[in-house]
Structure 1
Amino acid sequence: MSRALFLTNDFPPRPGGIQAFVHGLAAGRPPGSVVVYAPRWSGCEDFDARRPYPVVRHPTSLMLPTRGVARRAAEVMAAYGCDTVVFGAAAPLGLLAPAMRAAGARRIVMVTHGHEAAWAGVPGARGLLARIGEHADVVTYLGEYTRRRLERVIPAGRLARLAPGVDTGAFRPGAGGREVRAALDLGERPVVVCLSRLVPRKGQDVLLRAWPLVLRAVPEAVLLIVGGGPYHRTLERLARPLGDAVRITGPVPWAALPAHLDAGDVFAMPCRTRLGGIDFEGLGIVYLEASASGLPVVAGSSGGAPDAVLPGETGVVVDGTRPREVARAVTGLLEDPERARKMGERGRDWVTREWGWDLVSARFAELLRDPAPAGT
């Protein structure tokens, strides 16, 4: 049986959408066909012990495309008899592809996310991305927005669509939201949840600036911001004047994410494009997870985020730079619970039918074994 080495910086229990994506790809492979080489992270021993495949941890929390990492990855390949390498994120570790070829990799698949598509528009980084793509058999893309950007530097014949799936068994109505509400003393108040890494692109600050307008229409509403990241202190400062109308939990365990989504009535993450167009949302898997949880979503129009919404059916797409527009969208859903409920039901049906991991796993299996697109 062919065995694939997943070489990745992004793997649970480190939280994040890329981590969940790569984990899902590994989990969908047959027994005995996967080995993961990833950095250490707090709690990784317990997490790894529950995986049905070996996880080899690098001694530090980050791997760079160095000779030392290449040497260790080659040792793992040899020890487990791997003939395929999957880079969980093409940049920057994809620069190790030539070393993996030399170590015996017959097939190399590189998974891309938003940051690789951003590299395609940056001088210098564009050249590195081109080098990475030269040594791949397949380079995946999330959707049409990222495909168009990647095609600037990677031949179209090497590109193949592979978007994340959603675990609709974990992300579902009734996944533990009542317990979260009780723990946070939210009672039956209307709750808008934003679950994401706390960075400027995600738009939590815009939600906070919009929140006084929301409260004028729905005085009991609560904004529940879930996640950790470098923007935490800024968001706490913005939230302070709003009192108990805002709760910021900080990071929560990976397994607790479905319950925190289930605690909401509406999901909102008004992401926006920043830094002259190089910082944008690649897709926004959390919108799909929220839909699977039965919530209507308010999504920003950045990058590929609109691909995760059926506008008017599963949610609303807004300009994430405009607090008033965000407030109108959120308020409209809170004031019309029946419309919100129907959007949530439509969203869960859509995600279950078209974004399930069974479909993603089948597509990924094709990319691992199909000789086309041609490689190097």
Structure 2
Amino acid sequence: MTVLVVSNDFPPRQGGIETFVRSLCDQLDDLVVLTSRAQDDKQYDATLPFRVVRDRSTVLLPTPRVTRRAVQLMREHGADRVLFGAAAPLGLMGPALREAGAERIVGLTHGHETWWAKLPAARQALRRIGDAADTLTTVSSWCEEQIAPALSPAAARRIRRLTPGVDTARFHPDCGGALIRKRLGLDGRPVVACVARLVARKGQDTLIRAWPRVLAEVPAAVLLLVGGGPDRARLEKLADGHESVRFTGAVPWTEIPPYLDAADVVAMPSRTRRFGLEPEALGIATLEASATGKPVVIGDSGGTADTVLPGETGYLADPYNPVATAVRLVELLTDPAHARELGAAGREWVRSTWTWERSGALLRELLAL
């Protein structure tokens, strides 16, 4: 049984959905991928153990032409299972692919489908997508709460939770943090790291506003902002050149684990913006930090509550409240034994619960493989 994976989000583009879809592909034995073209895609595709077909467009949409191409690939490869890397809008092709012989159709949903569920025209489209699929999946309990009311009762009953996993062989204690500390001149200094793209939703400005209160209690502390993005100039101005706030610039995803390992505490105060239309659907970076054995302080936004056991692996904090965030950071920086205890518990939780093997087994069940 061959699976046709249809996804606009696929490497070499970088992002959470791209990583999620690519990692799920590793859990399937026989598949072909239809996706959009991207810079350096030929070199990337040559390294893969399965076939990738690149559409001529840079954004894959459910147009008649793309639908015909998907049907053609189903027939060429004998595919009778379909996985949409993002249910909206590609899942609108579901009826045509069903007619072409798809016996099982699964659509992955992420954060953006939550705002589809709030807007009238998009809500109607999402309902059609749900009716055309055997299953829509959600990455968090919050996402399910937002999406389910937009679906027909039958489609809502078929929702299943399919979460990303964490590669604990890559993200683990002592995976290179000492070298990062030495390179950046951080030896002997308490470090709070935020590993996220520099955009307003990730809340790095909350950390910068909290930082004077942290320094009042832990004068040697350093705030390490790992990542690049359009918000950097604003954040640098807010930091006002303070030596204890460091910007690394963009770091490839493959090189992220040592930066997490270099921290004493990992903080990501993500927040919901645009009147609820821009939430954090889950926050896989939080789980990667826990896998590295670090306590986490996470903004309470969307589905982030699923990524932390409050008081056991870290804390949820109000991402709009720098004072509350500072209190949690100071608590962990001034009690290293407690911080290590939370970090160790976080790693064990991720190892037992957030595995790609577990996610792959559920996906194969949903596709009836």
Q: Is this a same-fold pair by TM over 0.5? A: yes
Aligned partner of 1:153 among 137, 150, 154: 150
Distance in 2 (alpha carbons) for counterparts of 1:4 and 1:263: 40
Aligned pairs (5 A) from 1:130-145: 130-145=127-142
Q: Which amino acid aligns with 2:103?
A: R
Aligned pairs (5 A) from 1:1-376: 2-30=1-29, 33-154=30-151, 155-239=155-239, 241-369=240-368
Aligned residues of 1:298 and 1:316 also touching (Cα < 8 A): yes
Distance in 2 (alpha carbons) for counterparts of 1:361 and 1:22: 11
Which whole-Å deviations, capped at 9, do the CAs of 1:176-212 have from their partners, x for residues lacking one?
A: 2223233333333222111122222211111111122
1:242 Cα deviation after fit = 4.0
Distance in 2 (alpha carbons) for counterparts of 1:61 and 1:185: 41
Question: After alignment, is 271-280 or 325-334 more displaced?
Answer: 271-280
Distance in 1 (alpha carbons) for counterparts of 2:332 and 2:90: 42
Matched residue SS, 1:273:
coil
Aligned residues of 1:170 and 1:258 also touching (Cα < 8 A): yes
The alignment of Structure 1 onto Structure 2 pairs a total of residues equal to: 366
Q: Which amino acid aligns with 2:357?
A: D
Q: CA RMSD in A?
A: 1.8
Structure 1 residues 220, 68: CA separation in 2 closer, same or farther (over 3 Å shift)?
A: farther
Which whole-Å deviations, capped at 9, do the CAs of 1:288-328 have from their partners, x for residues lacking one?
A: 11100111000111111011100000001001110111111
1:43 Cα deviation after fit = 4.1
Distance in 2 (alpha carbons) for counterparts of 1:52 and 1:332: 47
Query: Structure 2: which 5+ residue stretches go unaligned?
Result: none
Distance in 2 (alpha carbons) for counterparts of 1:356 and 1:195: 21
1:106 Cα deviation after fit = 2.2
Question: After alignment, is 319-328 or 189-198 more displaced?
Answer: 189-198
Which whole-Å deviations, capped at 9, do the CAs of 1:237-274 have from their partners, x for residues lacking one?
A: 223x1433222223222211222222221111111222
Query: Structure 1: which 5+ residue stretches go unaligned?
Result: 371-376
Q: Which amino acid aligns with 2:118?
A: G
Structure 1 residues 226, 60: CA separation in 2 closer, same or farther (over 3 Å shift)?
A: farther
Distance in 2 (alpha carbons) for counterparts of 1:321 and 1:148: 23
Question: After alignment, is 339-348 or 147-156 more displaced?
Answer: 147-156
Distance in 2 (alpha carbons) for counterparts of 1:232 and 1:77: 44
Aligned residues of 1:271 and 1:300 also touching (Cα < 8 A): yes
Q: Which amino acid aligns with 2:26?
A: A
Distance in 2 (alpha carbons) for counterparts of 1:50 and 1:216: 51
Distance in 2 (alpha carbons) for counterparts of 1:185 and 1:332: 24
Question: After alignment, is 340-349 or 323-332 more displaced?
Answer: 323-332
Q: Which amino acid aligns with 1:47?
A: Y
Structure 1 residues 336, 87: CA separation in 2 closer, same or farther (over 3 Å shift)?
A: same
Distance in 2 (alpha carbons) for counterparts of 1:47 and 1:215: 44
Which whole-Å deviations, capped at 9, do the CAs of 1:97-140 have from their partners, x for residues lacking one?
A: 23323443222100011111232122222122112212111100
In the superposition, the TM-score normalised over structure 1's length comes to: 0.92
Matched residue SS, 2:79:
coil
Which whole-Å deviations, capped at 9, do the CAs of 1:151-190 have from their partners, x for residues lacking one?
A: 1112322211111111111111122222323333333322
Distance in 2 (alpha carbons) for counterparts of 1:263 and 1:43: 31
Matched residue SS, 2:98:
helix
Distance in 2 (alpha carbons) for counterparts of 1:251 and 1:274: 23
Question: After alignment, is 342-351 or 190-199 more displaced?
Answer: 190-199
Structure 1 residues 178, 223: CA separation in 2 closer, same or farther (over 3 Å shift)?
A: same
Distance in 1 (alpha carbons) for counterparts of 2:92 and 2:211: 44
Q: State percent identity of aligned pairs.
A: 50
